[in-house]
Structures are given as C-alpha cells and as structure tokens.
C-alpha cells in the first residue's frame, strides 16, 4: 500500500517545485516520520544555486534537506517498538545510511563509509532524496528520540551540532585550551559552543562579517572576535602567505579586554570556511603540537605552508560530517549546561510549509535580509 505525499523537488538551479509522490509503507526495520522541522545547510544552498555541490553534479530531480526532526506516525509491520522508537515519538533524523559491514563501519567510523547513502546528497546515484517532504520512511536505528524538554528546532540543530561535536572529539580538545574558530556560520558558532563546554580557556572567532563575530561574543559563543578585512587577494604565492602570516599575528595579538594578555597561539584551530587564506592563517596561528581541524569544504586544491606545519608538528585533521555524535548532541542540549550558549539564537529566520521553501532558500543565500537583519540559520517548519 502507498500513500500520497508532497515534496519540494529541485529540477535545476533555483528551480524548486512542489510535487506529489507515492510513499510506501515502512519496511520491518523502518519507521515513518512526519518531517516537521528542517534547517537549510550550506550544501543544500550550493545545490539550489548551482545544481551541484563542488564537483558533485545533480543527475536527477532531488529533494533537499537533511537537518531535520519530526514525529513518528507509523512503524513497519513486524517492527517491535518495546525498547525503541514508537508512534508519537519526536525524533532527530540521522540521514546518513552507511553499509554497516565494512571495516570502517565496524570500527565506528561509519561517516566515511564508501557505501554511504546520505539524504539530499547527489554523490550517490540514484540520489537519496532529502527531508523537505511531508513524510519519509527511515531506519529506526537512525532515528534518535528527543526528550520532552527539547523542541523540534533543537532536533533539527542536532545535525550541525553533531558536526561540531565530532570535530571537537577528533581534536581531543583539553580543558584550559585556547581555541581559534575561522568562520562564524552555524558550524563555526557551534564549534565555539562545544569548545566552551569542553572547558576551553579562551575562544577566539574570526569572520569577514563584523555582525557575525559581534553576535558570537554578545551571545556567549566566543570571548574575543576579529573581523577579517576584505582586501583583494594577492596573486603571488609569497604575497598570499605573507598576508596569512599577517592575519595570524593579528589573531594572536587579540585581547579579551583592556589590560589583558594577548590570547597567543591556539591549541586547536577549527577552520570552518574552506577558504585558502584561512587555511594558511590557521597553520600560522596554531601553536607547536597543536591541531588544525579541516571542516570547511572549499577549493579542492590549495597551496598551504606545509613546512610551517611540519616544523611545529601541527596536525592537519580532516573532519567529515559526524559519527556516534547524535546521542551526545541530544544529551548536551537537554543537560541544562550553563556554559552552553542558547543555540536557538542561531535560528534567525523561519518559514512555513513547502510552498515557502523557495523563499527560505533565497533568504539563506543572503548574509543579511531586506531589513538588515543577520542571516545565520534558516528553518522550514512543516508541522501541521
């Protein structure tokens, strides 16, 4: 038996259409979820604007969305909900489905499974359709129950928060560390937040947008902020590296307040922009024995001061999505931890229903809205 649902479907750059689909009954290991809240991600935005995400081209109409939460409305025939998910539960959806049998999956690193199918990504074909639709069938084991104290918006933020937690865990961040965040978007701000929770002594954040770094400090995500000047990019490699060293010195010389010592080099730098000059500056700004966490997805080929990293034994550590982080993210949000900033302040714009999805994407593509308000996280509410 199938049922009728509606979905937002991308047919080309900026060509979103609401279309009818047929949804089958959930399989025995699946539950059916009414998707009620979805945050728009940078990768979604790339597909919307260019019908591709870097080298990954869309090869068939695709539904976007993967930062989602909703309510279970059905379970598969023969599925036992006695100790797991049941109808009526509100869940955060972990939408990456690994093979679960390869060495990487068995070793707990399922996020880099070569057989990964990830909703709203065009990497695999046929594409795994995203969550901007009325309902989806999803394996119960990748649905994470939300406690009553958390909202569906919290549930949608679990996905980017999991990226930050995974990056922090890979960094092995220690209490008392100095942390540098390059890029004050959603993921950068959440990296700052989880660094605070981990006991970082000082969190410094940098971005080209003054309003973003001011937001970070004013709302407790960071202790100090630096607005990166928007100057023309030098053409010669030597000049590019000199500029990166200049940025690093500016970052190291920041003070939390008048009379305080300079923050100095970072134990861990979270590079969340993917911009080549930021990757270069990250290496120069990180202290010997420190780590640069490569989170931002930027130019696939970059020129980096590798000798500077080598001489300081600065580790360059890749970060791709997350593994085993959803439960930790939910527990953190529900913990009432007073060090954790209010993550709901990241949600700056809200839209309602599938018909509003194009407007949501148009807003997400901006740094400021028509009224001059800062755009950070855009949410689509489809609750009925």
Q: Is 339 left (phi over 0), alpha (psi -120 to 50) or beta?
A: alpha
DSSP three-state, residue 132: coil
pLDDT of residue 78: 83
pLDDT class of 83 with cuts at 50, 70, 90: low
Q: If you average pLDDT over residues 14-33, what whole number do you get? A: 96
Q: If you average pLDDT over residues 280-309, what whole number do you get? A: 95
Q: If you average pLDDT over residues 122-143, what whole number do you get? A: 96
**With 90 as the cut, is the pLDDT of residue 298 above it?**
no
Percent of the chain with pLDDT over 70: 99
CATH 3.90.180.10 in the chain, residue ranges: 2-145+342-381
User: Residues 278, 271: contact at Cβ < 8 Å?
Assistant: yes
User: Hey, what are 96's tokens?
Assistant: 């990456």
pTM for the model stands at 0.96
Element (H, E) at 68: strand 67-75
User: Residues 206, 248: contact at Cβ < 8 Å?
Assistant: no
pLDDT digits (tens, 9 = 90+) for 202-227: 999 999 999 999 999 999 999 999 99
User: Using CA atoms, how far apart are residues 358 and 165, in angstroms rounded to an integer?
Assistant: 30
CATH number of 162-318: 3.40.50.720
CATH 3.40.50.720 in the chain, residue ranges: 162-318
User: Residues 72, 32: contact at Cβ < 8 Å?
Assistant: yes
CA-based angle 231:46:125, to the nearest 5? Answer: 145
Length of the chain: 384
Q: Is 28 exposed, middle or buried (0-12, 13-18, 19+ CB in 10 A)?
A: exposed
pLDDT class of 82 with cuts at 50, 70, 90: low
Mean pLDDT taken over the chain: 96
pLDDT of residue 258: 81
CATH 3.40.50.280 fits 2-145+342-381, yes or no: no
Task: Give the β-pairing of 67-75 and 30-39.
Answer: antiparallel
């Amino acid at each position: 038996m199938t049922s009728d649902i509606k979905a937002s479907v991308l047919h080309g750059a900026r060509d979103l259409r609401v279309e009818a689909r047929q949804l089958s009954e959930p399989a025995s290991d699946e539950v059916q979820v009414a998707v009620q809240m979805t945050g728009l991600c940078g990768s979604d935005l790339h597909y919307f604007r260019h019908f591709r995400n870097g080298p990954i081209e869309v090869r068939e109409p695709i539904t976007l969305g993967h930062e989602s939460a909703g309510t279970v409305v059905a379970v598969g025939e023969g599925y036992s909900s006695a100790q797991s998910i049941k109808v009526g539960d509100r869940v955060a959806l972990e939408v990456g489905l690994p093979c679960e049998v390869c060495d990487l999956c068995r070793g707990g690193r399922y996020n880099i499974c070569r057989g990964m199918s990830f909703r709203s990504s065009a990497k695999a074909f046929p594409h795994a359709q995203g969550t901007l639709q009325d309902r989806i069938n999803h394996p119960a084991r990748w649905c994470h129950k939300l406690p009553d104290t958390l909202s569906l918006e919290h549930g949608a933020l679990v996905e980017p928060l999991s990226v930050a937690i995974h990056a922090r865990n890979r960094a092995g961040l220690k209490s008392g560390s100095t942390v540098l965040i390059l890029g004050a978007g959603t993921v950068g701000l959440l990296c700052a937040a989880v660094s605070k929770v981990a006991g970082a002594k000082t969190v410094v954040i940098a971005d080209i947008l003054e309003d973003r770094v001011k937001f970070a400090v004013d709302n407790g995500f960071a202790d100090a902020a630096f607005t990166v000047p928007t100057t023309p990019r030098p053409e010669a490699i030597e000049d590019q590296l000199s500029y990166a060293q200049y940025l690093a010195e500016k970052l190291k010389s920041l003070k939390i307040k008048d009379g305080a010592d300079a923050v100095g080099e970072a134990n861990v730098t979270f590079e969340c922009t993917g911009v080549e000059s930021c990757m270069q500056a990250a290496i120069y700004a990180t202290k010997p024995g420190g780590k640069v966490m490569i989170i931002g997805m930027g130019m696939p080929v970059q020129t980096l001061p590798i000798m500077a990293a080598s001489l300081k034994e600065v580790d360059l550590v890749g970060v791709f999505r997350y593994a085993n982080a959803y439960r930790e993210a939910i527990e953190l949000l529900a913990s009432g931890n007073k060090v954790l900033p209010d993550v709901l302040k990241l949600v700056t714009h809200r839209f309602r229903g599938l018909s509003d999805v194009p407007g949501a994407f148009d807003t997400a593509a901006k740094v400021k809205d028509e009224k001059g308000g800062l755009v950070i996280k855009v949410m689509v509410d489809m609750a009925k």
